[in-house]
A = this chain, B = another copy of it.
Amino acid sequence: MPVITIDGPHMSKEQKKDLVESFTREAARVTDIPAQAFIILINENDPDNVGVGGELLSRRMSKKQ
């Protein structure tokens, strides 16, 4: 019944599948709760909707290029 939420970047369906599998496997191993009890919610955030160190992530990413 644990709930894991990730607020991160846009991902492909293959990446989401990989993340759900590996998070569930690791969380089940650490907590000894059956894998089938885990719920995972993926929020894909636009870089304009994330702030890091007082700056929009979209601006920080454009400076790095």
Instruction: Report A's interface with B, CB cutoff 8 A.
Output: 1-9, 11, 13, 15-31, 33, 35-45, 48-59
Contact = CB atoms under 8 A, between A and B. Distances in A.
14 contacts: A2-B6, A5-B5, A11-B31, A16-B49, A17-B59, A19-B31, A23-B23, A23-B26, A24-B54, A28-B54, A36-B53, A36-B54, A40-B51, A41-B50
Contact of A4 (B4, B13, B25, B57): B4
Contact of A19 (B17, B30, B41, B53): B30
Given A19-B26, A41-B50, 11 more contacts: A3-B41, A5-B5, A13-B58, A16-B56, A20-B51, A20-B54, A23-B27, A28-B54, A35-B54, A38-B53, A43-B49
